[in-house]
Amino acid sequence: MKKLINDVATVLDESLDGFAAAHAELIEMDTERRFVRRRAAAPGKVALVSGGGSGHEPLHAGFVGQGMLDAAVPGAIFTSPTPDRILAAIEAVDAGAGVLLIVKNYEGDVMNFEMAAEMATGRVASVLVDDDVAVDNSSYSIGRRGVAGTLVVEKILGAAAEQGMGLDALTALAGRVSAATRSMGVALSSCTVPAAGKPTFELGEDEIEIGVGIHGEPGRRRGPMAPAATIVNELLDAILADLKPAAGARCLLFVNGFGGTPSGELYLVYDAARRRLAKEGLDVARSLVGTYVTSLEMAGCSLTVTVLDDELAALWDAPVRTPALCW
């Protein structure tokens, strides 16, 4: 295992210290490293809190700031943060208008965020992100996984909260965004968790995993490597069959790298996906391409499609200033 680390036991602490120092104008770290919070909080707004296991950077800490999250709670690599850490973040950012928890649909995250919400004294609501079409209720114990669509939910809700939307309306908006968003990914290689020291799973030199999860969970099938356009079409077949967008619908196309794929390949994938969506009569009105929701150094990518209406498009376009997303 070759990684730029000093000691396996201190990887996360040192990484968080570096992150907080590099972006000190935007965010600040809790003194006990329990959470990252927005430095210039807007008074009187609903606070948005998310989090989960580390190893998916820049998700979630990279999306703390104006127009997105008020706090992010990192757990150990691929491990949910504990309820006490989540509770500390809730209490730190609650400005009196309530707190909305944005939770990826994984058993540990769901359980720990629910416990923190129950312990909180203020008004707290939760929304689940479950955009991964690779799995369903019959094949995964808690239902669909939350993957790259989490970024879309955090961005749109963050903009709405910044504009003063209340907690109940934000919760309803989250349901709309989630219903309009689907994702699916492909892995070309595994990743290596530092504490494990070996790949999470094995892929042959000419094998890929279609529908892989962001922790290396199995997908729909394992098969031979294929041209990018063939892979894109298989991913979009599943996404479109589930999403069922109306002809002529406007959409956001988000191509996300898992950590080990160069941007040139991600843009090639975007081109193939854009062409396919155009053939389906869909209008790719908004785009995002880059490495945002990762699985350490896994090679591969995911596609996310969100159907947009005027309100969702305007909220996506609204200003955002975070360490990882800014316009």
Helix (H, G, I), strand (E, B) or coil at 68: coil
Q: Find the distance separating the first CA and the last CA of the chain, reported in whole Å.
A: 37
Question: Which residue type sits at 14?
Answer: E
Range list of H helices, the chain? 11-22, 83-93, 107-119, 149-162, 167-179, 228-243, 263-279, 310-317
Closest CA to 126 of 147, 104, 158: 104
Query: What tokens were used for 235?
Result: 């991913």
Let me know: does 315 contact 308? Beta carbons within 8 Å: no
Helix (H, G, I), strand (E, B) or coil at 138: coil
Exposed/middle/buried for 278, CB within 10 Å: 0-12, 13-18, 19+? exposed
Question: What positions carry a catalytic annotation?
Answer: 56, 215
What's the half-sphere exposure (Cβ side, CA atoms, 13 Å) at 99?
A: 28
| Residue burial 3-12, b: 16+ Cβ < 10 Å; e: rest | eeeeeeeebb
Cα separation, 187 vs 172, whole angstroms? 33
β-strand 36-38 against 47-54: which pairing, if any?
unpaired
